[in-house]
């Protein structure tokens, strides 16, 4: 079970209608999409640093961003905000036209001066060569970096609004 599902409860299991982008989010939509996104994040966590196609998201990326921002605003405590903030920033790892297979980051190039046995180089070379998708990852890197910067600003704005509500006693 997803950690977001555990924190916020499971979805109803039925698909919600895809609302217009400007339409306000509903509590049912929040509950379902946060749970479904949590499950997706758990599934993609095994990829490590990777870019996945935004079509794998349970809703359009901008709608999911709006839902996560709304959930931050409705959070009852800081631990919920602290769980949602990285989930919101993780949306940057979902980009258009990636395709069915997530694109992973190449492993770091090993420090060859630390190798004492030349035979140790062969497995490292095989591992490195196995990641032929490196150029594809690099082609998405600027999009991911730009989205991450934007989403971090969104998170800070959402935290500030939440903190303001807490300070006013709205929680």
Per-residue pLDDT of the chain (171 residues; tens, 9 = 90+): 444 544 444 444 444 455 555 788 888 999 999 999 999 888 877 666 788 899 999 999 999 999 999 888 888 888 888 888 889 999 999 999 988 878 876 555 556 666 777 777 777 676 666 655 456 777 888 899 999 999 999 999 988 888 888 888 765
Torsion of Cα atoms, 142 then 62 then 2 then 131, to 10°: -20
pLDDT at 108: 53
Contact partners, residue 76, CB within 8 Å, separation at least 6:
171
Chain centroid offset of residue 157 CA: 18
Average pLDDT of the residues of the chain: 78
- What is the Cβ-side half-sphere exposure of residue 126, based on CA atoms within 13 angstroms? 4
Scanning the chain, the segments in alpha helix (DSSP H) are 3-8, 27-45, 61-74, 78-89, 121-130, 134-167
Distance between CA atoms of residues 41 and 37, nearest Å? 6
| pTM metric for this prediction | 0.68
């Amino acid at each position: 079970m997803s950690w977001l599902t555990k924190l916020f409860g499971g979805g109803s299991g039925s698909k919600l209608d895809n609302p217009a982008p400007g339409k306000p989010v509903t509590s049912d939509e929040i509950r379902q999409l946060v749970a479904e996104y949590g499950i997706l994040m758990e599934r993609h966590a095994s990829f490590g640093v990777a870019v996945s196609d935004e079509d794998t998201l349970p809703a359009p990326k901008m709608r999911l961003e709006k839902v996560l921002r709304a959930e931050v605003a409705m959070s009852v405590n800081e631990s919920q905000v602290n769980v949602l903030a990285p989930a919101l920033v993780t949306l940057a790892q979902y980009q258009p036209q990636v395709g069915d297979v997530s694109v992973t980051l190449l492993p770091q190039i090993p420090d060859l001066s630390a190798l004492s046995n030349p035979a140790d180089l062969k497995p490292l070379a095989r591992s490195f060569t196995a990641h032929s998708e490196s150029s594809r990852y690099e082609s998405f890197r600027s999009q991911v970096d730009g989205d991450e910067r934007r989403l971090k600003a969104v998170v800070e704005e959402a935290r500030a609004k939440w903190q303001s509500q807490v300070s006013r006693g709205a929680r």
